[in-house]
Each structure stands twice: as C-alpha cells, then as structure tokens.
Amino acid sequence: MQKKERVRLFVQEIWSWYENHKRILPWRDLPDTDPTTRAYSVMVSEIMLQQTQVPRVVITYRNFLERFPSIADLADASNKEVLMAWRGMGYNSRALRLRDAAKTILGNYELRITNYGNSAIRNPQPGFPCDLEDLMNIPGIGHYTAAAIRNFAFNIPTPCIDTNIRRILHRTFVGAENVDGSWEKDDRYLLEIAEEVLDEALKPPPPGPLPQPFAAATGRERGSADWHAALMDYGSLVQTKRNPKWGICPLTRAGIMRTTKKNFELRIADYGKLRNPKSEIRNQRREPGRTVGSTFIPNRIFRGRVVEALRDAPRGLTLHEIGKQIAIDWDPEEHQRWLKTILDQLTCETMLGTKKGKYVLPS
C-alpha cells in the first residue's frame, strides 16, 4: 500500500471510529466564548494529564477550576493554595509550574500573529498567546503542551505527538515497538507523518450533511481539536500500550496498520525473554529512594507523601511527625538525615516552608 493511500484510509477510519466512540470530557468542547478562558482551561487540563490517568484528572480538574476560575485567580494564588487544590494528583511540582506559567502569561503576553499554511491568524483577544514559539517560551510548557493549547483552545491546526498519538502513528506507519519498548523512529520523523495526516483530516468534507452522530454532538464541521481528540481516544481505548484491542481495531481489519497482533505479541514475548529481574532492580534503584521491608520506594513517592501529610496539618508538622506518617518503618536515628534531605529540597523548591520549628505548606 502506498503511503498516500495509507494516510487517506487511516484518516477515514479514525474519523469513522470517533463519530461513535468519542469520550465526553470536561475539557473538551469548551464554550466558544472568551478565548483566554478557554485556553486557560486547556492549559490546566494538559498539565494535569501529564503522568496522571484521565479518571483522576476529571474530578480534580473541576474542583481546581472552581477554586481558580480564571488565569488571574491562579496567578495570584499562594503555593499553599495551589498545593491544596492539587490534592490527589501527585507530582505536586506540576501545580507550582502551572501557577508560575499563569504569572508569566499575564506578565509577558504580547499580541502577535501566527501563521499556518497561507493563513494568518491573530489571537482574537489579548491575555493568552497562541503563537507556538510564545507558548514554548513559557517555563513548564513544551512542544506538545503548546501544540495542544493551539489545537484545543484556538483550533489552530498544529501537529503534535503525545504518548497515544506516538503509539498509533508508529504502529500504523512504521511498525511495532522495539523489543526493549523503544521506538524505531523518533518524534521528529513522526511529526512529519502527524502533519500529513492532519492535512488529510482537515480537508473539506464531501457535499451533504455532516456525518452522524458527530454533527448532532457538535453542530459544526470537524476541526483540529476534534482530530487530535480522536487520536487520543483511539490510543486510550483501542491501541493501548500493553493490550491493544485487535479484535475491534478498524485499522487492523482494513489492513492499514503495519503492526499486527502476531508481530506485536512476538515482540512482547522476546522482551519477556530478555528481562532480567536482578538487572531491573539495579535499574530501578538508580532513582534515589530506599527499601521499606522488601519494597524499593523512590524518593519522589515520599515527597508526595510529605505534601499530602501537610495538607491535613494546617499548623504544621515536625520532622519526626512527618517521618512517622510517611514511612511505616520510621526510625529517627536511621532515617533522620535521609528525610531532612528530602525536606530541604522541597523547601528549596518553595513547596514547603517552616514556622515555629515545624514544616508547613507555604502561604
């Protein structure tokens, strides 16, 4: 099959699947009102979705926006307020990066023009940049998040690669993952494919009514936001990382995908043969942490436990009190130096403060 034909059929099958299996998520199909508000909502969702599964994000996302309904509200928030609102998410440093991004946007935004193809698109309202370079200059926002904001907030067609999109494009146009779980082609190569399929996906639809139930759900033509949502949903529900749903995969049925159930399972089997438990333990312990009982726990887990303990302690906790709450094997003589190092680092990152000899979430 020629690549051009594979691209065309790929787009056709993804759109067809999405029309019947679209997920309803609170950060999708946002009201077409103030673009700054819409972009802010998208930014919050994208930062939350980093390293966190959708079901956990849904609840926290709604609560977070109730607490900080505008980008100005978030920019004015203290570390403590942001960390309290982030409860249940983990990787708490993301919350402070998100707040700092809000500050940067309000302080540095300049109205600019962004180009896509032959069209010049002016950000319709000051308050949130839509130029890719401007977005990537905001600390904490990389290429994917910047592209996602353009796609989902401003509907500006912008090829991007996240975990799900990478997996679908590579399996379809290149092949299965390598035996060690890595990819034969890098994201630069896949971004070129992403742009090809995006161009195909946004071609004007054939004459006639919009396909159902898509038209009924949206009342408009399909755009860049819809296309990227379709890819993400397909990766989350069909072409999953470990257990792809080969029996219901329309790309497989149509012979579009280079990866098949057979060659995928062969790679998994080969990887299983290569696995060395002792080597895995050594690799795991390259990350700072310590063993509790027979289980190795990274320091990043203990960091999260520290913040969680302080959320429920408005008056603060001593080092010893924190140790007892976060480690079931707490021994002051053995573990005090280790915990002090973690607390000092969190304090340096402004995630903790001290008050009257106790650690607190900083106001």
Residues 6+ apart with CB under 8 A from 80: 360, 361, 362, 363
Report how far apart the first and last C-alpha atoms of the chain are (Å, whole number).
61
- Residue 130 phi/psi, 5-degree rounding, is -120, -5
The pLDDT assigned to 30 comes to 82
Range(s) of the domain holding residue 230: 3-24+161-266
In this structure, are 132 and 54 located in the same domain?
yes
The pLDDT assigned to 226 comes to 95
Does the residue 30 lie in any domain?
no
* Residue 115 predicted with pLDDT over 70: no
Last residue of a domain, one of 129, 154, 179: 154
Does the residue 81 lie in any domain?
yes
pLDDT tens per residue across span 164-211: 999 999 999 999 988 777 899 999 999 999 999 999 999 986 666 655
Does the residue 271 lie in any domain?
no
Q: Is the N-terminal amide bond of 213 cis, ω within 30° of 0? A: yes
Does the residue 144 lie in any domain?
yes
Last residue of a domain, one of 154, 171, 190: 154
pTM above 0.75, yes or no: yes
Q: How far apart are CA 149 and CA 135, in angstroms?
A: 9
Residue 95 contacts residue 86 (beta carbons within 8 Å):
yes
In this structure, are 71 and 100 located in the same domain?
yes
Cβ neighbours, 10 Å, residue 337 = 8
Does the residue 277 lie in any domain?
no
In this structure, are 150 and 185 located in the same domain?
no
In this structure, are 59 and 99 located in the same domain?
yes
Q: How far apart are CA 149 and CA 40, in angstroms?
A: 9
pLDDT tens per residue across span 117-134: 444 444 444 568 999 999
pLDDT tens per residue across span 308-332: 999 999 999 999 999 999 999 999 9
Report the DSSP pairing between strands 113-116 and 119-122: antiparallel
The pLDDT assigned to 125 comes to 44
* Residue 278 predicted with pLDDT over 60: no
pLDDT tens per residue across span 208-265: 665 544 443 444 578 999 999 999 999 999 999 989 999 999 999 999 999 999 988 8
In this structure, are 165 and 19 located in the same domain?
yes
Positions marked catalytic: 46
In this structure, are 165 and 148 located in the same domain?
no
**Identity at 11, one-letter amino acid code:** V
* Residue 294 predicted with pLDDT over 90: no
Last residue of a domain, one of 110, 138, 154: 154
- pLDDT higher at 242 or 147: 147
- Strand locations in the chain (E): 113-116, 119-122, 289-292, 295-298, 353-355, 358-360
* Residue 143 predicted with pLDDT over 50: yes
* Residue 33 predicted with pLDDT over 90: no
In this structure, are 122 and 169 located in the same domain?
no
The two tokens of residue 243 are: 């257990």
Report the percent of the chain where pLDDT is more than 70.
85
In this structure, are 95 and 127 located in the same domain?
yes
In this structure, are 18 and 92 located in the same domain?
no
* Residue 272 predicted with pLDDT over 80: no
In this structure, are 67 and 115 located in the same domain?
yes
Give the number of domains in the chain: 3
